Amino acid sequence: MNISKSIFLLGLSITLAGCSTSSGGGSIAPLAFSSSGSSTYLKALHGGIVSRVNGVQLDRTDSRLALEAEYRALEAAPGGQAVEWQGGDGVAGKVVAAAPYQVGSQNCRQYTHTLTLGMRSEVARGAACRNGDGTWTPLT
């Protein structure tokens, strides 16, 4: 493992240790992503399941927030716990991953991403498996 990846994973571990949740199935506190380390993890999601919502085109900032939420839900959220994000102009989302399951030697999770645009909500569903390098690859 290279040094920058080790530092990113250490930072992610420290950040995860400080996560707080609200009672009643609330959302996980946002994680701090380093701009250099997180791009590999987000690129591996290939646009995430949020990109599968028909007729919706997120701007770059909202797309990054959505992908970060998908990664956090897959990587660290307990099954059924929402990871929420808030973008600009009434755009928001909530990602909920189910409990992990094994496919061969990989951990996989089914998950949903509810995208809210003003008064309209759309739900995308999918699954992803975790690779040895810590990235998640969506199943198509």
111 within domain boundaries: yes
**119-124, long-range: CB < 8 A, 24+ apart:** 122/53, 122/54, 122/56, 124/49, 124/50, 124/52, 124/53
* Furthest CA-CA distance within the chain: 45
Residue 25 within any structural domain of the chain: no
Task: Give residue 8's identity as a one-letter amino acid code.
Answer: F
Assess if residue 24 is contained within a domain.
no
Tell me the C-alpha distance between 52 and 60, whole Å: 16
Residue range(s) defining the domain that contains residue 53: 3-16+33-138
**Per-residue model confidence (pLDDT) at position 37:** 58
pLDDT value of residue 38: 79
**pTM for the whole structure:** 0.74
Choice between 89 and 28, residue whose per-residue pLDDT is larger: 89
Residue 27 domain-assigned? no
Lowest-confidence region among 21-25, 88-92, 103-107, 134-138 = 21-25
Question: Is 28 within a domain?
Answer: no
Whether residue 87 is contained in a domain is answered as yes
Average pLDDT over residues 83-104: 96
- Separation between Cα atoms, residue 64 and residue 71, nearest integer Å: 10
pLDDT of res. 45: 95
Q: What number is the average pLDDT over the span 10-31?
A: 38
Predicted local distance difference test score (pLDDT) of residue 27? 42
Q: Examine residue 108 and state whether it is found in any structural domain, yes or no.
A: yes
Are 108 and 128 in contact by the 8 Å Cβ rule? The answer is yes
Split at pLDDT 50, 70, 90, the class of 140 is: confident
Q: If you average pLDDT over every residue of the chain, what do you get? A: 80
Domain count, the chain: 1
Does residue 40 sit within a domain? yes
pLDDT score at 54: 85
